[in-house]
Structure 1
Amino acid sequence: MCPEQLDAEAVRDDVALLLSVSMELAESLDVDTVLQTAVEGATHVLGLGSGAIYLLRDDELVLGATTPPLPADFPASLRRAALADHPHVRRSVESRTPIFISSVAAADLTPEEAKAVEGRGLVSLLYVPVVARDRAEGVLIVGTTTEKAEFTQREVDLCRALSVEIGYALANARLYESVEAAARDLRAAYDATLEGWSRALEMRDRETAGHTERVTALAVDLGRALGLPEDRLGDVRRGALLHDIGKMAVPDSILRKGDKLTDAEWETMRKHPEYAYRLLSSINYLAPALEIPYCHHERWDGSGYPRGLKGAEIPLAARVFAVIDVYDALTSDRPYRHAWTQEAALEHIRSRAGIDFDPAVVDAFVQRVSASGEGASLPAADRG
């Protein structure tokens, strides 16, 4: 085989190896996973026995990933170290070029550098800067347990290409984490606002103080017991917090009336799910949470409001909440009646299974209450 063919095959092999590592790096946006994939891929591509990635944090080096795993007695001081104590790393990062040490024994190492390589049993080392968008992010360190006279140009080129791939993967992972953190902060801000809205409503409708907090906790608990996925439970929580938000549009003369409501007043009160829909439907973030404010007064037999939904047409979150809402209402004192006992409330809910409530949800709720042993201290809801 002629030299040109050998060179072509070597290039193809290098491209295949780099592509393999690049694809692995692209599969994760978690910084720790990216770093571990990178260091394992680098040692595999170069056929070396040991590797580590240190990240730059101002004037410090912080260990990000290593292969093989560190020994139990690896000094903690070498997991986080001053850059000044590792001049070979500093020179590689500042010059943006790989630095090769063919023999650790013959090299002029600082005590800290010597301690690091001795702990890994290394004989030769290569420091490769990891750069992302013209910013030095850290250094890839690979080594052997036998002396290596020199790295070939092919290996140096592979190292440079790898460091670029690692840099981009690291930058993307960090960007993703920052976006995720911003999204979490935004969700927390939204949720704090929703809690404020629910407290404002309870301040207006004094007879239901504490109701929202209680039914929200129980709705999430029962939803989880019924198998709702975790990513849906956040919507259940938000929907429960806002279940009566439509009452903001109901006049005080009706909402705070101490006596029973007239038929006309009930007609107004029964519009609060529609008011909730009008208020919240234009907020994309709250769209998945609308099921409870809009549908928790629907009934299993189709006699509920505002749309007369029947059976499984009613969203599961709303079916769950309907049971809890009534339980809380019955077991709470109201100006127009005393609280029912837990036993009486559960008996009423059982009697309405298949009429007002989803029988499966009733069964799950009754089992949950019976198993809790908490008695009448379990939550309670309000009229309307």
Structure 2
Amino acid sequence: LGKSGYPFVIDCGERKALGHPFLEGGRDLRPFEARGRDVIEEMCALREGTIEYSWRNPNEVEPRDKLAYLVPLRLGGKDLVVGISLYPDDYVELFRAATVNNLRIWIFVLASLGLFFALIYLDLTGKISALVRLIRETRLEEGVVGRIPKELSGEDELSEAARAISEIASKLVGAYEEIEAYAGETTAMNEQLMSQQEELTGLYEALSQRTSTLTSMVEAVSAVTGGMDPKGTAFSVMEGLMERFGAYGAMMGMVRDDRIEVLFLGGYESPLYEKPPSVSLSGGPRSLIGKAVLTRSVQLWDLGRFDNWYLLYDPKVQSEIAVPLIHLGRVVGVMALSFDRPWSEVKVSVQALELTAPLLGSILASAEYAEKTERLYKLLVEKLLDLSELRDYETTSHMRRTELYARKLCSALGVRGDLLEEIALYAPLHDIGKLRVPPDIVRKNGPLTPLEFEEMKRHVLYGAEIIGEAPELRVARNICLYHHENFDGSGYLGGLRGEEIPLEARIVKLIDVYDALREERPYKRAFSHEEALEIITRGDARVRPEHFDPAVLRAFLEVESAFEQIFEEHRD
């Protein structure tokens, strides 16, 4: 399938691969899943639907994201799952090929209809031409009866003329009846063709909706696998559904314990929707989306069929459809489309929405996983900072100031979103590597010897080792490893210069220098804000303006008064 896709068969009873290009015979799949998941266990639990995982083929070094579609099968008493796996780029190519085939089919159908009508036209034209020839052959022209010669006498001549006229009339009547019958057949055939045309139009619209939905799914999968924010991807899909189906409003929510937290709200004019509502699930469903979640099924509501399942927030809403978003057997969320017209006038393919639902469920599950991971990272940071304070290396006030400095400086630089949050979260960890430096060096009341200073400089390396190699902690690792690099290349340990130094490290560099100048240290007195500002912008024996990124320095000068306020409010 495609360049590298393939089908496979899993025996869920024995938890092994019965049919697989290179894993038959019950081999463990976990070493090939980049995150170490038990893929067979997850596939057997899901049984039917779409599953995402990160797969490393035996002949490849790097893993790649992959999609598989599963269906259950009972065969010979065995509980099997049959799957088809594809990489996203193969999926896109196959989808494009299918779209081309659909276009070819429609071109063939339209050409056939055109040929059919052309044949009907030619046949009808032939019959009319035959009638004209008949009239001309019998010379049935205006006044023909009046021009019968008066000289004709005798019964034989008159009878012969009457018979001739009678034959002509009979031929005309027969031709007329034949044309009338053919017209009736043509009318019936035309009505049948019109009915078939309406059916084909409906099929074409359904196909267009599915094609458009599949296109959105391909784009969404590409966005997620490309690193786009899962929630942002889900929002884009919902906006696309609103536009595609002409919805008056749309809503998407994530299930959290006993309530639905509304994440996306589009359209709607009611002031009740100005703040996204949180819908309770306790005590039974009180809304259509609540019913969809609790019954795990698609729910429809129409103004003509009012019931107590629906809370009418907006008086313009006349119909609505709610679809649960299920991932690995768990309802993770729900989406709803609202319309300002009755359901009978809404052209929505329920199958297309059901096709979109598993993808949105997977995206929401990814967002939920990301949130949980972020909470764990924050907990880890807090524990590391607590440990650092217990060793008397850093104070709570210093670490709190560092976070606040980072937020101000990032905002002045135009850093937004996830990067700002990560820098603010991990900036207090910049000196965490000092936990591995001997305490007598860290706490020494006096200048360090050259050997002691070399050991002290290694705290940036120790910090990076403590953080580890996880991609999710890249910003934290960069801050620890590079915050003593100078923009002019005179820093340590790597002697990096300019934009070779990650932005997050350049930001923390200035923050660290400012706070160190303001604090009293065993080897120096505390400087005032004005003195610290003078040293940073003009330099002294240890600090030079060339040490800082010029853009970061300009941003600092824009918010330097905020730095002073933060220090005074959070002084030790």
TM-score (norm. length: structure 1): 0.67
Using the TM superposition, give the Cα deviation of residue 293 of structure 1 relative to its aligned residue in structure 2, in angstroms.
0.9
More displaced 10-residue stretch of structure 1: 192-201 or 227-236 = 227-236
Instruction: Report the secondary structure of 1:247's partner residue.
Output: helix
Task: Work out the CA distance in 2 between the residues paired with 1:168 and 1:351.
Answer: 63
Q: 1:66 to 1:184 in 2, by over 3 A?
A: closer
* 1:266-317 alpha-carbon deviations (Å, 9 max, x no partner): 1111111122233334222212332221111122332211111223332232
The answer to whether the 8 Å contact 2:488/2:547 transfers is yes
| Counterpart check, 1:293 vs 2:485 | no
The answer to whether the 8 Å contact 2:324/2:357 transfers is no
Instruction: Report the secondary structure of 1:210's partner residue.
Output: helix
Q: 1:380 to 1:325 in 2, by over 3 A?
A: farther
| Counterpart check, 1:19 vs 2:206 | no
Instruction: Report the secondary structure of 2:547's partner residue.
Output: coil
| Counterpart check, 1:311 vs 2:498 | yes
The answer to whether the 8 Å contact 1:328/1:379 transfers is no
Partner of 2:547: 356
1:11-90 equivalence runs, <5 A: 11-20=203-212, 23=215, 69=268
Instruction: Report the secondary structure of 1:302's partner residue.
Output: coil
Unaligned segments of structure 2, at least 5 residues: 1-116, 118-189, 221-229, 274-278
State the identity %: 27
Partner of 2:434: 247
1:215-294 equivalence runs, <5 A: 215-294=402-481
Q: 1:339 to 1:18 in 2, by over 3 A?
A: same
1:179 to 358, 366, 388: 366
Unaligned segments of structure 1, at least 5 residues: 45-49
Partner of 1:47: none
Question: What amino acid does structure 2 have at the position aligned with 1:218?
Answer: Y
Partner of 1:200: 387
| Counterpart check, 1:190 vs 2:357 | no
Instruction: Report the secondary structure of 2:418's partner residue.
Output: helix
* 1:156-197 alpha-carbon deviations (Å, 9 max, x no partner): xx76xx222223323432332232122111111112211221
Task: Work out the CA distance in 2 between the residues paired with 1:271 and 1:100.
Answer: 69
More displaced 10-residue stretch of structure 1: 187-196 or 175-184 = 175-184
Q: 1:375 to 1:220 in 2, by over 3 A?
A: closer
Using the TM superposition, give the Cα deviation of residue 26 of structure 1 relative to its aligned residue in structure 2, in angstroms.
7.3
Task: Work out the CA distance in 1 between the residues paired with 2:375 and 2:260.
Answer: 33
The answer to whether the 8 Å contact 1:53/1:140 transfers is yes
Task: Work out the CA distance in 2 between the residues paired with 1:85 and 1:309.
Answer: 59
Report the structure number with the largest CA radius of gyration: 2
Q: 1:328 to 1:172 in 2, by over 3 A?
A: same
Using the TM superposition, give the Cα deviation of residue 357 of structure 1 relative to its aligned residue in structure 2, in angstroms.
2.5
TM-score (norm. length: structure 2): 0.48
Task: Work out the CA distance in 1 between the residues paired with 2:467 and 2:272.
Answer: 58
Task: Work out the CA distance in 2 between the residues paired with 1:347 and 1:291.
Answer: 28
Q: 1:265 to 1:209 in 2, by over 3 A?
A: farther
Instruction: Report the secondary structure of 1:306's partner residue.
Output: coil
More displaced 10-residue stretch of structure 1: 205-214 or 64-73 = 64-73
The answer to whether the 8 Å contact 1:342/1:375 transfers is no
Task: Work out the CA distance in 2 between the residues paired with 1:98 and 1:375.
Answer: 54
Runs of 4+ in 1 over 4 A off after TM superposition: 21-44, 50-55, 60-74, 79-86, 93-101, 109-116, 119-122, 127-146, 206-209, 378-381
Question: What amino acid does structure 2 have at the position aligned with 1:211?
Answer: H
Q: 1:256 to 1:85 in 2, by over 3 A?
A: closer
Task: Work out the CA distance in 1 between the residues paired with 2:322 and 2:338.
Answer: 9
Q: 1:34 to 1:305 in 2, by over 3 A?
A: closer
Question: What amino acid does structure 1 have at the position aligned with 2:483?
Answer: H
Question: What amino acid does structure 2 have at the position aligned with 1:201?
Answer: S
